Each structure stands twice: as C-alpha cells, then as structure tokens.
A = this chain, B = another copy of it.
Amino acid sequence: MPVRQPSKPRVRRERSEVRPYHHGDLRRVLIDAALQLAAEGAEVSVREAARRAAVSPGAPFRHFPSRDALMAAVAEEAQRRFRAEIEVALGDAPATDPLGRFRAFGLAYLRWAMRNPAHFEIISTGRYFAHGSSTEVTRDNAEVIALTERMLADAAAQGLLRSTDLKRIQIAGRALVYGFARMNLDGHFPRWGVEEGEIERTAEGVIDLFIAGIARF
C-alpha cells in the first residue's frame, strides 16, 4: 500500500498539457472505452473503463448509477451504429423491390453482426437492459423491426409471397438472422475463421434460402 503523500503538491500544471481535474467528457470517454473493451473480447468492468480514462475507480459512478447503466449506454451507442449501418445499406436498395430490400437488410444485419460480435452481443443479450423498457435502444430496435414489417407488407402487396401470415414470416426471418448471428457469437461455427469471407457467404446463402422459401416464385 503506497503511503499517502504527506503534503499536497499543489502543482499548478499547465492547462493544455495536463489532464485537468475535470475530465471534459468523461461520460463519452467511458462509453468508448467500454465499447473498445468489449471489442477486444475482454469483459467490461467499470474499473477497467475508469483505468483507460485515467480516472479514479469511483468517477464513473458520477455519470452512471450502476455498471448496468453504463452497459445500457454502451448498448445505446452500439444499437445506434447498427441501425445506421442498416439504413445505409437499405439506401442503395430500390423501393420497388421489397424482397431485394429484405435481402439487403439481412445481409447488412449479418455482416455487421459478424464484424462486431461483441457489440452485437451487448445489444441483443438483454442482460444489460430490458428489451421492453423505453430506452433509446428499444426505440432504435423497434424502428429496425418496423423496417422489416414494411418490406414484408410491400412484398405482400405486390403478391410476391406464398403466405399471407406476415407476422409469422417476420418472426421467422428475425429468428433466422438473429440465430445465425448468435451462433457465430456463441462459437457454433468452429473453424470458419480460416477464410474470412466464408461465413459471410454462408450467411448470404441462408438468407437466399429463406427468401426462396417465402417467395411465390
């Protein structure tokens, strides 16, 4: 145990070169540190995030009442990025081809989940926040879900689907991509890492199989 310095140094440090007592935007830095921790595969601890922000172990609790609150904020950030990526991908898909959009959606979904497994875990697990609560995460997620519902409704309107039970199709579709993403996350695709693109091509094949299954060819 280091002995406390008997007297306060009282160093008048230069303003611009030394971290000031107040951090500036500790909240933001903590979220980013936690995101990075997660991306590195390490388990996210408040203390480690504080360490990376070069701040005392108790400091984060000024911005987040609990670890879960920090993780919820992290999830919020990850979910925002996820949604943004989805929307970019859909920006390229013509509105006149709902099944094509559906496909593009699934691809973007899985691509992001494959490339950001830790972030996908955080937004999907429900361990860090309740999916039913009215958080930003939930709203972003609901928006994404609404996207798929619209695509399916458009497809049905154009007579492209074999079944009229859109709810069922939608849940199955969600379960499919969610399951694929989580299988990857949970280590159910053992040796696929060898060639990087293989898993994404498999994802593509699975999506195509699903669309072929629901389409009135």
Contact = CB atoms under 8 A, between A and B. Distances in A.
A131 B175 contact: no
A130 interface: yes
Interface residues of A, number: 37
A64 interface: no
A186 B202 CA distance: 24
A209 B179 contact: no
Contact of A131 (B126, B172, B179, B190): B190
Interface in A108-148: 124-126, 130-132
A91 interface: no
A2 to B, nearest CB: 30
A159 interface: no
A183 interface: yes
A53 to B, nearest CB: 27
Contact of A178 (B169, B182, B191): B182
A129 B130 CA distance: 26
A177 interface: yes
Interface of A: 124-126, 130-132, 162-163, 165, 168-169, 171-172, 174-183, 185-188, 190-191, 202, 205-206, 209-210, 212-214
